[in-house]
């Protein structure tokens, strides 16, 4: 593990940041609805080509907006993924390394105090910033830039019915009546129907817990979609036949219920005549292996773990399907730009606004992912960095006994043949290694010290 000094240097620089403003007219600034799903594989959407899963509302959103088929999450685990979206920083900089391991400086209620956050910068620019749904980090949401904390789940998950939820600026839990996803959608809709939704531009963070386990219960109307389907019909195309069995019917049901509730939120935007001035983002917080490689979780660097549903719709966004190598790390600076703000210069994500407007060559050539937990008992041996283009992926592991991996994603989309030593791909391998090294240098990544 790198020294504390090596990790703290980027943070010290960030503490001196001013919030920049571009002078955009507040009346012309868009609202934002940022919808996050949980443990949602990229290929479990009709828009992604799945023939059976019922996701008509998300498919429509993908058709209306910019659907990034190859979009990736920067870190494939719930809480560090959210911390990256909040802070605009990779885990090796914000130091919430994993669900299991965090630096003591951030593992408390004021953990990100002093760091610019996406909701905090928007709030300073005159936005109302609202949290509904799952949270998971230890720093309190009201200390991370949220002006309005509504119905929320402080922890990382819970039951799908009668969940214990908090209200406002308190972690005190009260058992709620109803289904979890519906409770979150109803509270978001209540805000959208309120006067506050038209008083000033808003940023609404709506984090569902579906399709994270336990998947059930969902309404009977949803269960009926899959009552007579076999596992072979429900798995995505190319899913390995030898994978460990998983609860595919329940997983699909959770996704379809999520889709239905997302549709109700989008409908409320239409009814309130807010849709034409609201940017909607739909993003998975991480994928889920569902038994591939014998893994029933995430964290690992393979596409079923790091690729996620990634959709942006709104004013100025061209309806298109893109294979650009975009990352969740790109969303914080992009949303600030759309709000007329200048992102902190230390944020390493790219501005996607040109791509959203239809630019075919915006310089988005690769995406990076990481798992920066090198210490926890459960996942510490899985630390990695990766660089991914639309055609190839290079994985570098922290442990010296784990060789690097290289995959041709065009010929081998399920990453079954490691080509790291294939002389025919030596130039590709060396190019990707150089790109990864450049990224590490740019972000002062302690992984530069890994020895092979």
Q: Residue 25 burial (CB < 10 Å; 0-12/13-18/19+)?
A: exposed
For residue 378, is it within any domain?
no
Same domain, 137 and 257: yes
Same domain, 53 and 138: yes
What does the pLDDT read at residue 451? Answer: 76
- The SS3 assignment for 140 reads coil
For residue 370, is it within any domain?
no
Same domain, 90 and 157: yes
For residue 371, is it within any domain?
no
- The SS3 assignment for 354 reads helix
Place of tokens 């190859």: 70
Task: Count how many domains the chain has.
Answer: 2
Angle at 339 between CA 335 and CA 341, to 5 degrees: 95
Same domain, 160 and 300: yes
What does the pLDDT read at residue 59? Answer: 98
Please check whether residue 58 is in contact with residue 71, taking contact to mean a CB–CB distance below 8 angstroms.
no
Closest CA to 168 of 113, 131, 208, 207: 131
What does the pLDDT read at residue 360? Answer: 78
For residue 314, is it within any domain?
yes
- CA distance linking residue 302 with residue 414, whole number of Å: 8
For residue 23, is it within any domain?
no
Same domain, 167 and 209: yes
Same domain, 179 and 298: yes
> Length of the chain in residues, anyone?
452
Same domain, 397 and 359: no
What does the pLDDT read at residue 362? Answer: 75
Same domain, 223 and 150: yes
Q: From residue 74, give the alpha-carbon distance in Å to each of 284, 308, 385.
A: 11, 10, 10
What does the pLDDT read at residue 19? Answer: 36
Same domain, 197 and 68: yes
- Omega of the bond prior to 214 within 30 degrees of 0, cis? yes
Domain final residue pick, 309, 335, 364 = 364
pLDDT tens digit at each of 452 positions of the chain: 333 323 333 333 333 333 333 334 456 899 999 999 999 999 999 999 999 999 999 999 999 999 999 999 999 999 999 999 999 999 999 999 999 999 999 999 999 998 999 999 999 999 999 999 999 999 999 999 999 999 999 999 999 999 999 999 999 999 999 999 999 999 999 999 999 999 999 999 999 999 999 999 999 999 999 999 999 999 999 999 888 889 999 999 999 999 999 999 999 999 999 999 999 999 999 999 999 999 999 999 999 999 999 999 999 899 999 999 999 999 999 999 999 999 999 999 999 999 999 987 778 999 999 999 999 999 999 999 999 999 999 999 999 999 999 999 999 999 999 999 999 999 999 999 999 999 999 999 999 999 76
Place of tokens 């889920």: 288
For residue 450, is it within any domain?
yes
Whichever domain contains 153, its CATH number is 3.40.720.10
- CA distance linking residue 316 with residue 357, whole number of Å: 6
> What is the bridge-based pairing of β-strands 278-284 and 31-37?
parallel
Please check whether residue 133 is in contact with residue 153, taking contact to mean a CB–CB distance below 8 angstroms.
yes
Same domain, 266 and 351: yes
Please check whether residue 200 is in contact with residue 19, taking contact to mean a CB–CB distance below 8 angstroms.
no
What does the pLDDT read at residue 23? Answer: 36
For residue 310, is it within any domain?
yes
For residue 1, is it within any domain?
no
pTM of the shown model: 0.93
Q: From residue 236, give the alpha-carbon distance in Å to each of 38, 43, 128, 255, 414.
A: 18, 6, 39, 13, 11
Give the bridge partners for 133, in sequence order. 152, 207
Same domain, 420 and 312: no
What does the pLDDT read at residue 9? Answer: 32
What does the pLDDT read at residue 20? Answer: 36
- CA distance linking residue 258 with residue 185, whole number of Å: 9
Q: CA 103: distance to chain centroid?
A: 21
In which domain, by residue range, is 427 found?
Answer: 383-452
Which runs of consecutive H residues, i.e. helices, occur in 17-117? 56-64, 78-87, 91-94
Whichever domain contains 387, its CATH number is 3.30.1120.10
Same domain, 172 and 290: yes
Instruction: Give the alpha-carbon dihedral of 326, 63, 37, 252, to 10 degrees.
Output: -120
């Amino acid at each position: 593990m790198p020294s504390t000094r090596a990790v703290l240097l980027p943070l010290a620089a960030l503490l001196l940041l001013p919030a920049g403003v571009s002078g955009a007219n507040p009346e012309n600034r868009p609202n934002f609805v940022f919808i996050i799903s949980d443990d949602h594989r990229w290929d479990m959407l009709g828009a992604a080509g799945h023939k059976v899963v019922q996701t008509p509302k998300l498919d429509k959103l993908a058709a209306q907006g910019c659907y990034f088929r190859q979009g990736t999450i920067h870190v494939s685990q719930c809480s560090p993924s959210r911390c990256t979206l909040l802070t605009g920083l990779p885990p090796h900089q914000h130091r919430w390394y994993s669900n299991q391991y965090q630096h003591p400086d951030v593992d408390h209620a004021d953990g990100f105090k002093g760091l610019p956050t996406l909701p905090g910068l928007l709030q300073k620019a005159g936005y109302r910033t609202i949290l509904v749904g799952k949270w998971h980090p230890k720093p309190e949401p009201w200390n991370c830039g949220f002006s309005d904390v509504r119905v929320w789940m402080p922890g990382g998950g819970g039951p799908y019915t009668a969940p214990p939820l908090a209200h406002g600026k308190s972690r005190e839990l009260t058992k709620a009546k109803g289904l979890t996803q519906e409770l979150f959608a109803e509270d978001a809709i209540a805000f959208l129907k309120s006067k506050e939704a038209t008083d000033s531009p808003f940023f609404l963070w709506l984090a569902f817990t579906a399709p994270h386990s336990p998947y059930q219960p969902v309404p009977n109307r949803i269960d009926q979609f899959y009552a007579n389907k076999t596992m072979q019909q429900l798995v995505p195309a190319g899913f390995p036949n030898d994978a460990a069995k998983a609860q595919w019917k329940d997983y699909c049901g959770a996704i379809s219920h999520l889709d239905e509730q997302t549709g109700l939120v989008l409908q409320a935007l239409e009814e309130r005549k807010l849709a034409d001035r609201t940017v909607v983002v739909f993003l998975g917080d991480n994928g889920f292996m569902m038994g591939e490689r014998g893994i029933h979780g995430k964290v690992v660097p393979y596409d079923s773990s790091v690729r996620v549903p990634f959709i942006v719709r709104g004013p100025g966004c061209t309806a298109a399907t893109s294979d650009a190598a975009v990352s969740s790390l790109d969303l914080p600076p992009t949303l600030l730009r759309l709000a007329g703000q200048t992102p902190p210069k230390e944020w390493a994500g790219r501005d996607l606004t040109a791509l959203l407007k239809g630019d075919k060559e915006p310089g988005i050539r690769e995406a990076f992912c990481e798992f920066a937990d090198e210490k926890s008992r459960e996942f510490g041996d899985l630390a990695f960095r990766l660089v991914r283009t639309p055609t190839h992926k290079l994985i570098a592991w922290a442990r010296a006994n784990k060789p690097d991996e290289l995959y041709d994603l065009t010929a081998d989309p399920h990453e079954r043949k490691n080509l790291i030593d294939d002389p025919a791909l030596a130039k590709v391998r060396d190019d990707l290694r150089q790109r990864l090294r450049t990224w590490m240098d740019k972000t002062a990544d302690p992984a530069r010290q890994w020895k092979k």
